[in-house]
């Protein structure tokens, strides 16, 4: 039974368990946005496997692709050999890539996690440029292996860190707790000015950059969308200095932000995109796509056993095609805007809501202490204990939400793109109720 499962898991698994700690439930069934526990309780899942489940749990299109592949007798594991499934996945993916990128794209299958693709992208650019340095941002999250972790900005619980000496950390424009004491577009402009000045300052200590790696919307950093103009500035600054620009779309990809890929909002053409999570349609898959002139690796320069998960490719191809055919990115934009505006309207009633932001269905609600002193941009002090109470209150009300952000004080909503209007209303009702209860 569920209690025995929980007990055994608690006693045997590492103390680094996170989600299991916040959500002491034993899921037995899941469909769409609904997860059912062993005790029969049902939850609306706004975590979606940390943003993986673009179509929710066990979507018929994904199940059908998996069954078809299993029945076909195709090899489930065949290293990096060419297969019809790999060809089909690559076609489906390349069909969606941004204009100006798709026609010159190459793909490297990594595996199996997002962090593997980040490592591959950084190393690819180090090979291509002969340089070692990495430009990364405050609040960034790129993964848990050495190179990706060095580029990750939220380091509080992750020490000891690998050698991060080659990473230069730059200020991500975070309009609420702005790095330069000025919010909005002006704050983002100052972040860009600082970046450019630092790169050109011979005394700045910047290790010659092989790449800049950036999220168009920071996910773990607290659902912080970068202004499009700022991203275009990063493109200009890197292009002028021949620094390859890697956009980490591990969490933002496959329609989540209201466009198939988050870079499409700004119209920039990156040199590489790191993709994982939703591209595997619930199964592990990670790739780097990059412009052909960076294709400088010798055979064997970057390997890994699990570079070809046939089932993940089949599920991923089905997911990509379904998202494109059903216009789910547009749907994410519309539902996301509705959720965000209703939450924004709540701020007067619930002053613990300091900020509501996001793009599409990547939404953050930053909880604050309304009795505290505002900082230079008017942001109130973070309220991490309140946030933990809100998360627990949501779970009691049948809603799974995770926390994130620089101070673990941002309630993050990552529902599937297939969320219905009724489910969106239920999410809003339960979340509002949980915030009101925790704040009172």
Among residues 254 and 434, whose Cβ is nearest to ligand PMP? 254
Residue 25 structure tokens:
């439930």
Which residue of 166, 215, 271, 408 would you call a contact of ligand PMP, by CB under 6 A? 215
d(CA 104, CA 71): 35
Residue 5 structure tokens:
């499962």
Which phi and psi (to 5°) does residue 424 adopt? -60, -40
What is the smallest separation between the CB atom of 272 and ligand PMP, expressed in angstroms? 13
Beta strands in 27-69 (DSSP E): 27-31, 34-37, 42-45
> Is residue 146 at the binding interface for ligand PMP, with CB under 6 A as the rule?
no
Which residue of 111, 133, 143, 255 would you call a contact of ligand PMP, by CB under 6 A? 143
What is the smallest separation between the CB atom of 145 and ligand PMP, expressed in angstroms? 8
Cβ contacts of 342 within 8 Å, gap of 6 or more: 428
Among residues 90 and 276, whose Cβ is nearest to ligand PMP? 276
d(CA 359, CA 343): 13
Which residue of 47, 53, 66, 118 would you call a contact of ligand PMP, by CB under 6 A? 118
> Is residue 220 at the binding interface for ligand PMP, with CB under 6 A as the rule?
yes
Q: What is the DSSP string of 321-385?
A: HHHHHTTHHHHHHHHHHHHHHHHHHTTTT-TTEEEEEEETTEEEEEEB-TTS---TTSPPPB-HH
> Is residue 408 at the binding interface for ligand PMP, with CB under 6 A as the rule?
no
Site for ligand PMP in 14-53 (CB under 6 A): 50
**Piece in contact with ligand PMP (CB under 6 A), picked from 141-149, 153-161, 381-389, 396-404:** 141-149
What single DSSP character describes residue 401?
A: -
Among residues 361 and 368, whose Cβ is nearest to ligand PMP? 361
Among residues 69 and 276, whose Cβ is nearest to ligand PMP? 276
d(CA 66, CA 373): 54
Provide the residue count of the chain.
Answer: 440
**Piece in contact with ligand PMP (CB under 6 A), picked from 94-102, 113-121, 158-166, 372-380:** 113-121
What is the smallest separation between the CB atom of 264 and ligand PMP, expressed in angstroms? 17
Contact positions vs ligand PMP (CB under 6 A): 50, 113-115, 118, 141-143, 215, 219-220, 248, 250-251, 276
């Amino acid at each position: 039974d569920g209690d025995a499962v929980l007990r055994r898991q608690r006693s045997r698994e590492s103390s680094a368990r996170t989600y299991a700690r916040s959500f002491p439930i034993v899921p037995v069934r899941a469909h769409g946005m609904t997860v059912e526990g062993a005790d029969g309780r049902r939850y609306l899942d706004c975590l979606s496997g940390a943003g993986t489940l673009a179509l929710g749990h066990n979507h018929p299109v994904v199940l059908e692709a998996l069954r078809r592949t299993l029945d076909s007798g195709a090899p489930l594991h065949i290293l990096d050999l060419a297969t019809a499934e790999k060809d089909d996945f690559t076609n489906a993916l390349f069909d969606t890539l941004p204009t100006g990128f798709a026609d010159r794209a190459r793909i490297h299958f990594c595996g199996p996690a997002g962090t593997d693709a980040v490592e591959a992208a950084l190393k690819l650019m180090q090979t291509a440029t002969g340089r070692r340095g990495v430009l990364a941002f405050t609040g960034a999250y790129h993964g848990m292996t050495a190179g990706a972790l060095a580029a990750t900005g939220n380091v509080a619980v992750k020490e000891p860190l690998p050698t991060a000496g080659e990473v230069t950390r730059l200020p991500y424009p975070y309009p609420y707790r702005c790095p330069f004491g000025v919010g909005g577009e002006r704050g983002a402009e100052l972040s860009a000015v600082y970046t450019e000045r630092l790169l050109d300052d011979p005394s700045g200590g910047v290790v010659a950059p092989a790449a800049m790696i950036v999220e168009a919307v920071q996910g773990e950093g607290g659902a912080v969308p970068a202004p499009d103009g700022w991203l275009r500035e990063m493109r200009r600054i890197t292009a002028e200095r021949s620094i390859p620009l890697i956009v980490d779309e591990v969490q933002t990809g496959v329609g989540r932000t209201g466009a198939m890929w988050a870079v499409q909002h700004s119209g920039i053409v990156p040199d590489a995109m790191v993709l994982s999570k939703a591209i595997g349609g619930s199964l592990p898959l990670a790739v780097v796509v990059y412009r052909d002139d960076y294709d400088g690796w010798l055979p064997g320069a970057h390997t890994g056993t699990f570079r070809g998960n046939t089932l993940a490719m089949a599920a991923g191809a089905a997911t990509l095609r379904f998202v494109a055919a059903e216009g789910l990115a547009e749907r994410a934009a519309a539902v996301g805007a509705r959720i965000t505006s209703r939450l924004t309207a709540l701020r007067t009633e619930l002053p613990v809501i300091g900020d509501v932001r996001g793009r599409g269905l990547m939404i953050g609600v930053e909880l604050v202490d309304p009795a505290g002193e505002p900082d230079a941009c008017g942001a109130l002090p973070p309220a991490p204990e309140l946030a933990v109470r809100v998360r627990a209150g949501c779970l009691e009300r049948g809603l799974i939400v995770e926390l994130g952000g620089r101070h673990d004080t941002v309630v993050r909503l990552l529902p599937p793109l297939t969320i219905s209007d009724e489910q969106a209303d239920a999410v809003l009702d339960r979340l509002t109720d949980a915030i009101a209860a925790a704040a009172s």
